[in-house]
Structure formats: structure tokens, C-alpha cells
């Protein structure tokens, strides 16, 4: 193979890898910010705020209800799905959210209960 062709192939591979890596990094950029959330069951809905930030190149999450901000536990983001645990009244609750038409929606469960969570970006 001519030297010029090898350089072109290497450059093309490098650009392809950079584009793929950039796309993965941009995947969560639209989620950054504050979200007005509501978790519901048959009882009264619980309103809270989800705060999504980028820290050290990674998506991180915290929540606030009133004046207190709390880091969520076991936070992960993969394949468009946010998963984390939220402390509430002495128990940890699991929440799984997917982005759907400028909303975050998904189930929550914990302490023998479950329901739906949804929210919109503020």
C-alpha cells in the first residue's frame, strides 16, 4: 500500500472515532439543567426538582425539594436512560427515566410502592 493511502485511512479512522465519541458526549447535553418532576401513585403526588449537570465530563444528578439539594445515589446514564436512587423519608427509591418529547418519564419503586414519574425542563 502506498504511504499516502495508509495516512488517509488512518486519518479517516481517527475522524470516525472522534465523531462517534463526540456523539456519545452530546447524547446527554440536551438533558442538562433543572427539571420540574412529579412522582405519582394513587395518593398525593410528590413534586421535586431534578438537577442534571456535567461534572468532569460526566452527567451527574441531584434533586431538591424545597431549599435542600441532595445528590442522588447510584446515578447512571446509558442508552438514553437515567437510573438512580432517591432518598425519601428514610428509604431509597429507584427511579428510571427516559427522555420522550422534551419530557422525562418512567417508573419509580421503593418501600413496597411504585408509580410513575414525569417532568419537564424549566
Rounded-to-integer distance, Cα 55 and Cα 48, Å: 22
Q: What is the dihedral of CA 45, 49, 50, 54, to 10 degrees?
A: 180
Same-domain pairing of 39 and 18? no
Same-domain pairing of 60 and 94? yes
Same-domain pairing of 1 and 43? no
Domain with 109, as residue range(s), is 32-121
Same-domain pairing of 94 and 37? yes
Digit-coded pLDDT (tens) for 7-42: 554 433 333 333 333 333 447 888 999 999 999 987
In b/e form, how buried is each residue of 28-47, taking b as 16+ CB within 10 angstroms?
Answer: beebeeebebebeeeeeebe
Q: pTM for the complete prediction?
A: 0.75
Digit-coded pLDDT (tens) for 48-99: 999 999 988 888 999 987 788 888 999 999 888 999 998 878 889 999 999 8
Q: In degrees rounded to 5, what are phi and psi of residue 44?
A: -65, 140
Q: In the structure grid, which three cell numbers stand for residue 81, read together?
A: 436512560
Domain count, the chain: 2
Amino acid at each position: 500500500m502506498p504511504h499516502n493511502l495508509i495516512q488517509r485511512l488512518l486519518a479517516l479512522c481517527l475522524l470516525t472515532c472522534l465523531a462517534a465519541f463526540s456523539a456519545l458526549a452530546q447524547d446527554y447535553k440536551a438533558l442538562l439543567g433543572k427539571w420540574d418532576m412529579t412522582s405519582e401513585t394513587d395518593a398525593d403526588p410528590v413534586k421535586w426538582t431534578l438537577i442534571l449537570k456535567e461534572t468532569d465530563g460526566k452527567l451527574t444528578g441531584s434533586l431538591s425539594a424545597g431549599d435542600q439539594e441532595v445528590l442522588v445515589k447510584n446515578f447512571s446514564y446509558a442508552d438514553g436512560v437515567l437510573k438512580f436512587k432517591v432518598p425519601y423519608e428514610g428509604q431509597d427509591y429507584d427511579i428510571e427515566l427516559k427522555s420522550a418529547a422534551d419530557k422525562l418519564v418512567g417508573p419509580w419503586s421503593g418501600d413496597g410502592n411504585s408509580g410513575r414519574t414525569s417532568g419537564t425542563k424549566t
